Amino acid sequence: MAATWLGLWMYVAWLADLNLRAPALARARSLATPAIFGATLLWLWEVGVSAGGVARVILPAPSVIAERFARSTDILWIDFVQTIVKGAFSGFAIGVGAALVFAVFVDRSPFLKRGLLPVGNFVAALPIIGTAPIMVMWFGFDWPSKAAVVVAMVFFPMLVNTVQGLAASGAMQRDLMRTWSASYWQSLWHLRLPAAMPFIFNGLKICSTLAMIGAIVAEFFGSPTRGMGFRISTEVGRLQLDMVWAEITVAAIAGSAFYGLWAVLEKRVTFWHPSQRGR
- Write the DSSP string, 168-237: -S-HHHHHHHHHTT--HHHHIIIIIHHHHHHHHHHHHHHHHHHHHHHHHHHGGG---S-SHHHHHHHHHH
pLDDT at 176 (0 to 100)? 73
pLDDT at 3 (0 to 100)? 77
pLDDT at 247 (0 to 100)? 92
pLDDT at 89 (0 to 100)? 93
pLDDT at 77 (0 to 100)? 94
Percent of the chain whose pLDDT exceeds 90: 20
**Span 193-238, pLDDT tens digits:** 888 888 899 999 999 988 998 889 888 887 778 889 889 988 888 8
For the chain, residues with pLDDT lower than 70 are 1, 20, 22, 124, 170-173, 175, 272-279
